[in-house]
Structure 1
Amino acid sequence: MQTNIPHILFCCIFILSFPSFLTAQEIDTLGGIRIDAARDTIISVGEGIPLAQTIRMQDSILTDTVRPPQGNQLLTDKVTYKAKDYLRLSQRENRMYLYNEAEVVYGDMTINAGRIIIDNEKNEVYAFGIVDSTGTYTQAPVFKQGPKTVEPDSIRFNFDTERALIYNSRTQEAQFNVIGEVTKRENDSVYFMQNVRFTTSEDVDNPDYYFYARRIKFVPDKKIVSGLVNMYIADVPTPLGLPFGYFPMTEEETSGFIIPSFGDSNARGYYLQNGGYYFAISDYVDLLAIGDYYTNGSYAMNLESNYAKRYRFRGNISFRYERLLESERGFPDFAQSSNYNLRWSHSQDSKASPSSRFSASVNLGSSDYYRESVNQANTGNFLNNTLNSSVSYSKTFEGTPQVTLNLAARHSQNTNTGVVNLTLPTLTASMSRIYPFEPRVGAKKGIIENINFQYNLRAENRISTYDSLFFKPEMFEGAVYGAQHSVPISTNFKLFRYLSVSTGASYEENWVFETYERYYDEETNSVLRDTIKGFDAFRTYNFNASIGTTIYGMKSFGKDKKIQAIRHVMRPSINYNVNPAFDQYYDQFERPDAADPSQINLVDYSRFDGTLYGAPGRNFSSSIGLSISNTLEAKVRDKDSTATEPKKITLLNNFSMSTSYNLAGDSLRLAPISLRGGIPIVDNKLTINFSSMLDIYALDNNNRRIDRLNINNGGSLFRFTNANVSFGYSFSSKDFDKDTENDDEVENDTYRNGGRRDDLFGKGTDLDGTFYEDEEDPFEGNEERETNSEWYNYKIPWDLRLSYTMTYSNNARQNEITSHSLMFSGNVELSPKWSIGASSGFDIKEQGFTYTQLRFARDLDSWRINFSWIPFSQRKSWNFFIGIKSSILSDIKYEKRRNRDRSL
């Protein structure tokens, strides 16, 4: 007996390998019989067939002696099938039946259904569910091929026409979940669907929103083209609709338009923001070109690009230019300005090259960019008054000795003063330490064997200019350049077993290519400076030595005490430094005395004043430095009764005192005494840091230090000149959960632009007002919390960051607190869907609140809502955003903002 069962099975499985979607063509249902999903009337399965006959029929298939047809075969893999109740072949009806948990597998394709029927007479295949004893339709067909799954109510396929009808199919393609009432397969790559609902909501049966279309054309992994599309929210139709729709479904990045957001501004009128085009150039690089336009004539352009190559490098670059107008031309308050900003970040993979590395972190532009930008909401950026950039390349040459070469360009810009300092470039080279007298085997011992030296080179070209002259020829005026060579020599050894001694000397040679001669001009009555071009150099050297040790003290109170022991660790050290005077590099010129022009004064100067590394020291110095650091620790009984060892805690961390005495000075020889330390309050979380300065010398009536002890001037032994106390504390509900690790590491655009890692200055937002940390999943883990609602009755996730600082100054008898402030930032999840947060601070000295931001976030499953509000200050504003979370429908959003009022 010959059968077409293998051919029909293959075609059935092959045509079902699609992720089911949308249509743009009427479906002809007159050419075949529609299968009702609940009650199938095509055939009565299994009626009147004894079990023995079923077994015999199955055996006859396995022992069929009829040779299969030769020639082209459709099947390229083994077909296996099974069913829980029975597999039956009806010779009279020329059909095969698989009943209850039926399964057909061919290659990577699998069909599971309650019933599967193969009709050889009509060349049709059917797969549908069964009705259980309660009347419920169960075991609906499920088709799987690789990662794709289709779940219809029933399937019908005709082998002759190679067309299929699928009823009430459910599938997922890209980020869409799709339900189609009827699906028709036209060919291998085109499908048409009728009465279709598609949404990005995870709840397919009860989505919070969906798009409805009567006819859809679907090309798997490529696109969806639909007719009239209407948007439903909570099953309620909305006036939001389109006469046709096009949805790209490829998993790869594709080029396309960026729909702008719109609104109105008090100063610039109506606007369109962040509209443009996205270019998917290749798998390694892309480009985003967007812009803003205001009806008063202001505009902005922004270019952003990301690039990456696996195991090699990755980075991003962006440039923004703004032309801002205030008021209208012809009005007295009309003003205009331009600003720009360039950012570049590049990092190299460690696997790319073990001996060389290239990195870049660039942030430069107009000094008032972050304060005046019309589309910049990252508060940490405009509160920071410096912009810094660095581009560097380093290369290590292996060998003995090892040589490291580094070439860097750096930029530092003060946004308040507009001063820009550049080094273009800086070249540094260093040679690893060489021990000429070290033994061939064994450790180095003694003063001779530990003698070592190395060589360092530093060459720079420094430019100091203003941001208004940036990228202009004038910026290079006044540039200074030169090179510095240094050779440090040192050794160390033990003295009397307990004392560590180190001594050394350093030789430096400085090369410059410009020097400056000074002279007095009688006509202008001023000192003039002539620039002398040409190579020149000066050489310096110094000596140093230090000796130190570590002293331990222990006091035990008994193991039965709460405090079992206290240990005190002291590390005293004495150092001696000698810096010779280099008078040979100083000259003199004559100048009349200002009080008596008949008298001539000699003015000393060095031709190296104003060069790259300045002039060498003229004054001989010989000083002794004294310092001692203290650490106080205690062993206490552990609260954990199962612990076998006591717990060690730190009571005082690195409390140090230091000063120096100038042996070569003629007055004020003793430097102020510096005190520094930290008091741990919460282990690894809160440490109070403090520092202060004590001076033994008194002040005169002009508040200048004089060579007289303060105690002999009617004061105390020490004069308290300044002090600082500060601490930062970050904690959250995770700290009280032993099973949860807390990671406060944050990387966002605010931090990369020079802001803080934390959100004490407020959370940064992207261009559409979405908080950076919320881009992927603002309420990650909500599914687990929702499964146990009682958990939220007593445990609410929260986090809090505190920063406190106080500075006291009394250098010139002012006796005042110069700064005193407390900053805080926190977030609370009131429920698995609601999150609120605030960032603010209070200036205790000035009695006022610092920059304040209030924020709210709401998770609507498929949607998200963000609201941020700055209630006061010059940047008073608010921003409201609601949109679909899925990136494929990110243009479906509503945003309303009130921009801050500013004047240029």
Structure 2
Amino acid sequence: MAFQKPSHTFTKIHLKALQTNNFNILFALSFTMFINMLSFGQDIKKKTDSIKPSVENRVTIKTDSVLAPIIDEKVQDSTKTDSIKPKKGLLENKVVYSAVDYTTFNQIKHKLYLYNQAKIDYGDMNISAGSIIVDYTTNTVRARGIIDTTGEYTQKPVFTQGSSVVEPDSIVFNSKSKKALIYNSKTEQGEGTVIASITKKENDSVYFLKNAKYTTAENLEDPDYYIKLRKAKIVPGKKIVTGLANLFIYDVPTPIGLPFAFFPQTETHTSGVILPSFGEQNDRGFFLQNGGYYFAINDHVDLTVLGDYYTNGSYGLRVENTYAKRYKYRGNVAFRYESLITSELGFSDYAKNTLYNLRWSHSQDAKANPNSRFSASVNLGSSNYYSGSLNQVNIANRFNNTLSSSVSYSKTFQGEPQVNVSLTATHSQNTQTETINMTLPTLQGSIGRMYPFAPKTGSKKGIIQNINLQYNLRGENRIETTDSLFFKKEMFDDAQAGFQHSIPLTTNFKLFKYFSMSTSANFNEVWTFKTIDKSFDTTTRETVTETVNGFDSFRTYNFSTSLGTTIYGMFDFEKEGKDPKIQKIRHVMRPAISYNINPAFDKYYDTYEVVSADGETKEDVSFTRFEESIFGTPGQTFSSSMGISLSNNIEAKVRDKDSTATEPKKVVLLNNLNFSTSYNFAGDSLQWSPIRMSGGTQLFDNQLSLNFGATLDPYALDNNNNRIDTFNVDNGGSLFRLTSANMTASWSLSSDKKGKKDSKDDDRNRDENLQGGGRDDDMFGVSQDFSKPIAKKDDEDKDTKSALYRYKIPWSLRLAYAVNYSNSTRQNEISSHSLMFSGDIQLSDKWSIGASSGYDVKNNGFTSTQLRFERDLESWRMNLSWVPFGTYTSWNFFIGIKSSLLQDLKYEKRKSADVQL
């Protein structure tokens, strides 16, 4: 495990002036100005679909002829019938109106007065208010509230039409021109709300506002921030266009503003600029990071292009694509490239490095096609990409030792028997040694089990009826290369290919009622396209190995059988008149014994003669031409061995704390405790193999997961620490020698006993770690990628708070402990010993802190350490991430709006780590 000791870092770059290219600085400043000018200059593309989605708009007021004069009922009842077709009536729907105090119609002024809980229903339109006046001469409706006995303005108008709702102080509407004046209204527009003193409705799709406020705050009575719009135009469901607009924080104006602004309003994804963050890095000067553009291609595909730029000439590029189709598939592709320059040209420590990483994840919906499946999980690139990258998104994956990939397609052909075929490409890369192993591709095929002697009806019984056989095929093309040769012509020169055919024949049956016995015989055939030939060169006195191209094959077979049973033991602690806490303990043992025979295939072995320097002594060395076969070699030694294993499971029934429970509670004491060894009858010495023990359990309501293992050797060592054919107990020692042992533990603690659900941000960080080949936790820190929208936290039950202090402080702690012991050659040492932890504490409803760190006990050093501070500012969030010491010393400060609509309204400042490649 890598470790870091706390220390101050001073490098040569601190002692010399950083010569930054003036052109690069001007380019960075110009890019910043360009982004700020266009940040609100994005328009929404016109949709080609003629069917427009219905978008909820609380200021849309649409009426028909509700304001037409009310026709007297007598006139309606005296409808005449003649040959002339009557004209269409002024009212297409029935008008229903009511009021508590009075409903009066003034014949002289042609006005209808409704007072106190007044209400008019006409079709899908509804107006309710304290007072409503309908003027038939001017075709206007005036609705307002009333003042109650306490002097409060109550029963404000509520105008509803379909899904549109408007709640102003008062409203004046003209039914003929379809125009309206709305006073002191609050209107939802997408994720935000517009609060306007005066709103003029021009038609069904255009509104003009004066002295309005736009905010995403939840508290509309006293918003923590808003953007003041002196004059604005709203096209519901499309956009808001304003004149002079600037930011107010708690009614305090700020100089942050624009002479004009544009706010897109749509329920669909919209393309737009992503503002970069800025900072300074000692070796590379000032930088802009994670700035770019988001392309909303369609409902199924999007594209994000982000870039980093450093004033010494370094740069980076990130291209990310997400795609999905419901009930079919979903996935994402990401390519990251960084060209990093260290120091300045002309200095001795000048260096230029290129890093890249390709990730692809694809999953198919199970409902898409039950008979075929395609999946991909790709993570490949430069071995030092994560350790050398300057981007904060990679902070949690800097200590990954392995990159792996797999792309597979499988197809099932239904029938009797069933046929399965799969094609897989795999990749495994060690970031420390920079070695890469690939299979391009792996072909697997199988024919399902066939029971030739099974009855046509009923169940299979007995040794004969249970006889079954299969056919399995596996073909591989293996490539082993390094970073420097990756995807170059040379990497294919030493590729190895081969096929393996296997036909297992098995059966199982009951023996003496309580024992289960199974036997199997396996036939194996290997095809290869390269073999070798060895000879001894007397001149150079070295063994010469030659590669022979051409098809060759070998065949092997073996036989095995096993016998097992299950033994149940019950320890009852219940006694008459007593109710002990531990009532029963159940012990389940599964002993098994197996026997294997592997014949010797000497016919596949040859010899070559080695002559000593004096030319007299000769030695025949055995070899097989299949030594480089990817599916192993035929066995040269006859093996007849017996295997012994014992698995254990221990559970307890305890009295439940809940007095209403009718049954005792089951508690697992040991999930498993396994022992295994073997004895080779054909061996001439060291016939017993070491005993391997493994076990695991979960304690404290499954909060603590504990796993352990050990290897016990019955044989002794000589003075040169070599195993000898003498039992350790006969050599003056114990019955067994402990040659190795290991234990791992992980413990999750929380103030909430039921456990706290991970937030959307936690899920996003975990996915980033897993896709990069990292851990499924935050032990190595949390990715700090603020280029993506901040997920809103779900509402949680609030703890009861005192006026003076918060007596409940939610917290969580995750621990990971690992220790390994080695004593195979009397070294008697702890080979590795480490403790890692991460935790979070919510000091208040708004403040939370977190940390991730660890300690290497063997090497006395800290592992990667990260401190996190977060402040919830209602509509905003503030975050500080700090790596205080070590190779990746850095910090990152961020404050921004939570809403994805205004996510570019942010301030981010960071100091990146001075990574030396």
Normalising by structure 1, we get a TM-score of 0.89
Any residues of structure 2 matched to 1:223-622 within 5 Å, and which? 223-559=239-575, 560=578, 561-593=580-612, 596-622=614-640
Corresponding position of 2:164: 148
Task: Tell me, yes or no, if structure 1 residue 815 matches structure 2 residue 828.
Answer: yes
Following the alignment from structure 2 to structure 1, what is the Cα–Cα distance between the partners of residues 334 and 799?
41
CA distance 1:17–1:827, change in 2 (3 Å) = closer
Deviations 1:47-74 (A, max 9, x none): xxxxxxxxxx999547645769955678
Q: CA deviation at 1:414?
A: 0.7
CA distance in structure 2 between the aligned counterparts of 1:190 and 1:428, rounded to whole angstroms: 63
Quote the Cα distance in structure 1 between the aligned partners of 2:56 and 2:466: 75
Does 1:655 pair with 2:668?
A: no
- CA deviation string 1:35-92 (max 9, x = no partner): xxxxxxxxxxxxxxxxxxxxxx999547645769955678665544333444332212
CA contact under 8 A between 1:168 and 1:181: conserved in structure 2?
yes
1:693 to 2:693 alignment:
no
Q: How far apart, in 1, do the equivalents of 2:532 and 2:97 lie?
A: 95
Task: Return the alpha-carbon distance in structure 2 between the equivalents of residues 492 and 767 of structure 1.
Answer: 59
- Aligned partner of residue 662 in structure 2, secondary structure: coil
Residue 308 of structure 1: how far off its partner (Å): 1.1
Aligned equivalent of 2:814, options 793, 801, 804: 801
Contact 2:801–2:807 (CA under 8 A) maintained in structure 1: no
The answer to whether structure 1 residue 777 and structure 2 residue 792 are counterparts is yes
Q: 1:375 to 1:65 in 2, by over 3 A?
A: same
* DSSP-derived class of the 1:98 partner: strand
User: In the TM superposition, what is the alpha-carbon distance from 1:341 to its structure 2 partner?
Assistant: 0.7
What are the superposed Cα offsets for residues 250-287 of structure 1, whole Å, 9 maximum, x if unpaired? 22222222222222221111111122222111111111
Task: State how far apart, in whole Å, the 1-side matches of 2:239 and 2:109 are.
Answer: 42
1:656-675 equivalent positions in 2, closer than 5 A: 656-675=674-693
Query: Which of 799, 812, 831 is the aligned partner of 2:844?
Result: 831
> Which residue in 2 is equivalent to 1:754?
773
Partner deviation per Cα, 1:764-815 (whole Å, 9 max, x = no partner): 23244x8xxx93224x325x41786689844332222111121111000001
Amino acid at match of 1:419: T
- Which stretch of structure 1 is more off in the superposition, 597-606 or 693-702? 597-606
* Aligned partner of residue 752 in structure 2, secondary structure: helix
Inter-CA distance 534–70: structure 2 relative to 1 (3 Å threshold):
farther
The letter for the 1-side match of 2:275 is I
2:149 counterpart of 1:133: yes
Counterpart pick for 2:730 among 701, 709, 712: 712
Structure 2 residue matching 1:889: 3-state secondary structure: coil
2:49 paired residue number = none
Name the CA shift for 1:200/1:878 in 2 (closer, same or farther; >3 Å). Answer: same
Change (3 A) 1:489 1:566: same
Q: Secondary structure at the match of 1:433?
A: strand
- In structure 2, the CA distance between the partners of 1:856 and 1:145, relative to structure 1 (3 Å rule), is farther
Match of 1:781, as an amino acid? D
Q: Deviations over 1:534-583 (max 9, x none)?
A: 21111111110111112223333334234333333222111101111111
The one of 92, 95, 114 aligned to 2:108: 92
Alignment correspondent of 1:641: 659
Alpha carbons 1:17, 1:143 under 8 Å: kept? no
- Opposite residue 455 of structure 2, the aligned amino acid is P
Aligned pairs, number: 845
- Match of 1:370, SS? helix
Residue type of the partner of 1:555? Answer: F
Is the contact between residue 57 and residue 237 of structure 2 (CA under 8 Å) also seen in structure 1? Answer: no
Range moving further from structure 2, 111-120 or 564-573: 564-573
SS in structure 2 of the partner of residue 761 of structure 1? coil
| Distance in structure 2 (CA, Å) of the matches to 1:83 and 1:395 | 71
- Return closer, same or farther for 1:680/1:345 CA change in 2, 3 Å cut-off: closer
Q: CA deviation at 1:176?
A: 1.4
CA contact (8 A) 1:785 1:792 kept: no
What are the residue-to-residue correspondences of 1:38-187 with 2, within 5 Å? 60-61=72-73, 64-65=76-77, 71=87, 77-187=93-203
SS in 2 for 1:305: strand
Return the letter of the residue paired with 1:590: E
C-alpha separation in 2, matches of 1:449 and 1:580: 28
> Relative CO higher for 1 or 2, CA cutoff 8 Å, sep ≥ 6?
2
Aligned alpha-carbon RMSD (Å): 2.5
Q: What residue is the counterpart of 2:856 in the other structure?
A: 843
Deviation at 1:415, TM superposition (A): 0.8
2:887 corresponding residue in structure 1: 874
Is the 8 Å Cα contact of residues 148 and 172 (structure 1) preserved in structure 2?
A: no
Q: Distance in 2 between matches of 1:568 and 1:157?
A: 82
Any idea what the Cα deviations from partners look like across 1:431-471, whole Å, max 9, x if unmatched? 21111111222221111111111111111111111122122
Percent sequence identity over aligned pairs: 57
CA 641–221 in structure 1, closer or farther in 2 if over 3 Å, else same: closer
Q: Tell me, yes or no, if the aligned pair for 2:131 and 2:144 is still in contact at 8 Å.
A: yes
**Quick check: 2:799–2:808 contact (8 Å CA) kept in 1?**
no
Alpha carbons of 1:792 and 1:503: their partners in 2 closer, same or farther (altered >3 Å)?
A: farther
User: C-alpha distance in 2, partners of 1:76/1:792?
Assistant: 63
Aligned AA for 2:770?
Y
Query: What are the superposed Cα offsets for residues 166-217 of structure 1, whole Å, 9 maximum, x if unpaired?
Result: 1111111001111111112223322211111111111112111111121112
Aligned to 2:745: 727
| Equivalent residue, structure 1, for 2:911 | 898
**For the Cα contact (< 8 Å) 1:17–1:144, is it kept in 2?**
no
Task: Please say if residues 677 and 691 of structure 2, whose CA atoms lie closer than 8 Å, have aligned partners that are also in contact.
Answer: yes
Is the aligned partner of 1:766 residue 2:781?
no
Aligned to 2:32: none
After TM superposition, the structure 1 stretch with the greater mean CA deviation from structure 2, 60-69 or 152-161, is 60-69
1:62, 1:458 → 2: CA distance? 92
**Partner-residue secondary structure (3-state), 1:353:** coil
Q: 1:247 to 1:558 in 2, by over 3 A?
A: closer
**Greater Cα offset, 59-68 or 461-470:** 59-68
- The separation in 1 between residues aligned to 2:722 and 2:384, in whole angstroms, is 39
The counterpart of 1:188, out of the listed 193, 201, 204, is 204
Distance 1:680 1:390, change over 3 A: closer
Which sections of structure 1, spanning at least 5 residues, go unmatched? 1-15, 22-56
Q: Matched residues in 1 for 2:203 and 2:588: separation?
A: 83
CA distance in 2, matches of 1:633, 1:539: 47
d(CA) in 2 for partners of 1:639, 1:183: 63
